[in-house]
Structure 1
Amino acid sequence: MKNIIAFADEYGNNSFEFSTQGTHFIVASVILKKDKLAETEQYIEDIRKRHFQTGEIKSRKVGDQHHRRLKILQELVQADFSIYAVVVNKRKLVGEGFKYKPSFYKFLNGLVYKELFKTFPELDLVVDEHGDNDFMRQFKSYVQRYHQPNLFSGSDFQFSGSAESVMIQLADFIAGTLGRCFDEAKISPESQQFLQVLEPKITSLNFFPYDKQHLLQVGEEPETGFHEDIAQIGVNSAIHFIDNKKVINQDDADQINCVKLILLYFNTYGTKKYIPTKQLIQHLQVGREEVLSEHNFRTKVIGKIRDAGVLVVSSSAGEHKGYKLPASMQDLYKFVSHGNSVIMPMLHRIAVFRDKIKLATLNDVDILDKDEFKGLRELLV
């Protein structure tokens, strides 16, 4: 993971004057491999010259020019990077302490640290040293205090002015665009389009506090067949796993990141949307030294998170091929039906195999007589 670098910027502030200062605070980071940095910087620089001439790429310069923002986004997402972001709804933060800047930023420090450095312990992080980036300056102090050098000696924290770094400018534009997707004062009819364009690049959106009603607010109309209780059970299973899973090795990290992705897509892009296997693997590949094969993904990631109690359903048919959380009775039946189509034929084959051996040996050999096959014997009675 020493090959990973991130550029971060913030949107919003610590003010709780929602009508004038906004409802959300967002920290967005763009992450990529260092060996792709020069190529990506050149690509972003070409976009800067084309759309901003001699100025910087700034979200606030585009403002409410939604068509212009969409056009720029469509070009930016062709570059090689992933988006990790923490989205805080200030309306949902309870307690007077949050209204004071030090307390608010201290709380955010922990959130952002957990999201970035626990996923990429040897990450190099670059942030803007100019302007009103109070949070980033405090975050630097937090990382220096809590990031254990004996465990994570490969990480580095740098300041770089946005004027000198088009990657910081990219982070600014992403943070500002996410603000226009979630901040109540900035949401527009184009917000969903922004999210759709960013979809291939978003690897993690960590919402805090998590709002169980968020999944009901994404679409303009409730989705046909949607069952709120089933959806909530699935969401709860994902959140419980994320909150309680300990990361000891790469498999653990892959499992947590996969559940985060499934939860993100469920909440942001619709409860009927399946995430293709290749797309999940592509996101999980960020920061990995070894290639994650499809076989290992199915056995060491999907299989293990299901074993741990996360309710993940799958589909192998047409445009709905992939994985997601359940949101309807049909999703549940589809999961059971798939299991039935695999398990019953396999049990039948074992039964036929067993019977032929018993017949040929006059019952002297029972291939299921070992203790480890007790469950199979009971199923085949």
Structure 2
Amino acid sequence: MNEIQCAFIEEYGNYGFDFEQQGVSTHFIIVSILVKESNKEFLEQEVEKIRQKYFHSGEMISGEVEDHLRIQLLNELKDLPFTVYAYVIDKRKIREDSGITFKKTFIKYVNRLVYDDLYRTFDQLDLVMDEHGSKEFMDEFKNYVKTTSIPDLFNYSSFGFNQSQSNLLLQLANLFAATIAQGYDRTLFSEQYRSFYQIIKDKMIGIHLWPYDYKHFLYEYKSEKPDAKYDEVIIKQAVNLAYQYIDKNRKSDEEDEKIRIDFLKFLLFNLKENPDEYVFTQEILDNLNAIREIKINQHYFRSTIVSKLRDQGLLISSSNKGYKLPASLTDLYDFVNLSSLTIHPMIQRISKCRDQILVATNKEIDILDQKEYEYLKRIIEMEKLAVK
């Protein structure tokens, strides 16, 4: 059996939709601090040292943390053995006629959204929430998981609540929930969020934005490039194709599909945070492997994950700096240029090989005569005509 992970879950925000009212959050955020059972005790000890250093006898209350102190805290926490998995729900983008703007319906919908994604992503997960809080989402989520997950003969559920506790790690989850909120929620937004993100980005194995809307990625993205008029079209197509693929395959039990979906979610998040930056292959693998016992390698990633997504028509740019969802025409040219460095020389090699055999056999054997090579034959002959 794979080592079980613990998920310490906290929320930020409230359930209201009257954004003119003071104190109503624009976003509802759920954060899971993930830690392997073997690392839990060590993590608690190290977090306790940090708590004592900065908060003395008090708890790590995220709302009382000023920007400069948050930066110090995050720098001390970033190398500890845990990762962060989060959901960011923009309540402003939920249609009023959807019915989800009613408090109870909203809570039930988010319950199902979070449960389905966590259950699909993690085969085993020991969930931990605040037992003494008054948060309705948490209470409903606990009830939903308990009625949905099936325990074994010893009343142990591989995905559920198994009496694990740690108030300290719930405080850590609260700290990260508030930190993420400072990059999204209008009532808590901080100009320092970019600094926070640069510190914690290696800890983030997933931030899932909902509802699905390509305009999430245009909010702060403005291009001054010559072909900027096409950028929104390109982003919209790339993002919507990614969302459509995720929605179509999100219930698949095939491990390859799960990895492809996690890869797309990673690219979506990177597009939001760093629209112009590529992500190196090793950084992507580190992210995908953080939640997997069986690690994937670069060959598998390129041939089974990236190639299959492109075969389905998804737009994924690549260069010698890694991968990204395209945000501009330049990103698409990067992909074409990189591909041409491989495709054109290979076609030339095939052409030379073919010519050698044609000469040696007095044109009796053409290695491209097979039906499946007809397209290659046409490409090579067209290239020869172009040269003439």
Q: Please, what TM-score do these two structures have when normalized by structure 1?
A: 0.90
C-alpha displacement at 1:148, in angstroms? Answer: 5.4
Aligned counterparts of 1:358 and 1:153: Cα–Cα separation in 2 = 67
- Which deviations, in whole Å up to 9, do the C-alpha atoms of 1:209-268 show, x marking residues without a partner? 13432222235x645454211121111121111111252322111110001000111012
Find the aligned partners of 1:130 and 1:222 in 2 and give their Cα distance.
48
Give the drift of 1:92: 2.1
Tell whether 2:37 aligns with 1:34: yes
RMSD: 2.2
The Cα shift of 1:37 comes to: 2.4
CA distance in 2, matches of 1:133, 1:159: 19
Per the alignment, residue 378 of structure 1 pairs with: 378
Alignment equivalent of 1:250, drawn from 232, 255, 277: 255
Q: Distance in 1 between matches of 2:164 and 2:60?
A: 15
Distance (whole Å) between structure 1 residues aligned to residue 324 and residue 88 of structure 2: 22
Question: In the aligned structure 2, how far is the partner of 1:123 from the partner of 1:371?
Answer: 52
- Counterpart check, 1:92 vs 2:93: yes
Equivalent position SS for 2:23:
helix
Structure 2: distance between partners of 1:138 and 1:351: 66
Once the two structures are superposed, the pairs formed by residues 199-214 of structure 1 within 5 Å of their partners are 199-214=201-216
* Higher mean displacement: 171-180 or 15-24: 15-24
Stretch moving more, 271-280 or 190-199: 190-199
Partner of 1:57: 60
In 2, the alpha carbon distance for the partners of 1:307 and 1:106 equals: 37
Contact 1:7 1:30 in 2 (8 A): yes
8 Å Cα contact 1:32/1:286 also seen in 2: no
The CA distance in 1 between the partners of 2:54 and 2:164, in whole Å, is 22
Distance in 2, matches of 1:171 and 1:223, equals: 38
Deviation at residue 358 of structure 1 after TM alignment: 2.6
Report if the CA contact (8 A) 1:128-1:159 is conserved.
no
The number of aligned residues is 370
Asked whether the 8 Å contact 2:85–2:207 carries over to 1, the reply is: yes
Give, in whole Å, the separation in 1 of the partners of 2:191 and 2:224.
19
Distance in structure 2 (CA, Å) of the matches to 1:95 and 1:169: 34
For residues 244-293 of structure 1, the C-alpha deviation after alignment (integer angstroms, 9 at most, x for no partner) is 12523221111100010001110122x21111111100010022122211
Deviation track 1:105-155 (CA, whole Å, cap 9, x = no partner) reads 1011111112211111322221111222321121122123333569x9622
Which residue number corresponds to residue 109 of structure 2?
Answer: 107
Q: Which moved more, 1:222-231 or 1:181-190?
A: 222-231
- Residue number among 139, 146, 155 corresponding to 2:141 in the alignment: 139
Partner of 2:386: none
Q: Secondary structure at the match of 1:206?
A: strand
Q: CA deviation at 1:299?
A: 1.1
The 3 A distance-change label for structure 1 pair 81 and 359 is same
Amino acid at match of 1:37: K
Distance in 2, Cα, partners of 1:76 & 1:53: 17
Is 1:285 aligned with 2:286?
A: no
Partners of 1:187 and 1:243 lie apart in 2 by 30
Residues 9, 172 of structure 1: 8 Å contact kept: yes
Q: Partner residue of 2:385?
A: none
Aligned to 2:68: 67
- Asked if 1 retains the 8 angstrom alpha-carbon contact of 2:100 and 2:106, the reply is yes
Residues 176-204 of structure 1: per-residue CA shift (max 9 Å, x gap): 11122211111121222222322111121
Q: 1:15 to 1:158 in 2, by over 3 A?
A: farther
| 8 Å CA contact 1:2, 1:155 repeated in 2 | no
Give the structure 2 partner of residue 333 of structure 1: 333
Cα deviation code 1:55-99 (max 9, x no counterpart): 22221232xx11111211121122122211111122222237434
List per-residue Cα deviations over 1:327-361 (Å, max 9, x = no partner).
22211222112222211110110111122123223
Q: C-alpha distance in 1, partners of 2:80/2:335?
A: 37
Residue 169 of structure 2 aligns to which amino acid in structure 1?
M
Q: Are 2:276 and 1:272 equivalent residues in the alignment?
A: yes
Cα distance in 1 for partners of 2:187, 2:370 equals 66
Change over 3 Å in CA distance of 1:305–1:32 after alignment to 2: farther
TM-superposition CA deviations, 1:289-335 (whole Å, max 9, x none):
2221111111111111111222010110xxxx111111222112221
Task: State which drifts further: 281-290 or 139-148.
Answer: 139-148
Query: Is residue 22 from structure 1 mapped to residue 22 from structure 2 by the alignment?
Result: no
Shift of 1:10: 0.6
- Provide the secondary structure at the position in 2 that maps to 1:265: helix
Aligned partner of 1:336: which letter? V
Say if 2:8 is the partner of 1:7: yes
Alignment of 1:140-289 (within 5 A): 140-147=142-149, 154-158=158-162, 164-218=166-220, 222=223, 224=225, 226=228, 227-246=231-250, 247-269=252-274, 271-289=275-293
Distance in 2 of aligned mates of 1:258 and 1:325: 11
Residue segments in structure 2 that go unaligned for 5+ positions in a row: 382-388
Pick one of 298, 302, 305 that aligns with 2:306.
302
SS in 2 for 1:79: coil
Say whether the 8 Å CA contact 1:12–1:24 is kept in structure 2. Answer: yes
Gaps of 5+ in 1: none
What secondary structure is seen at the aligned counterpart in 2 of 1:354? helix
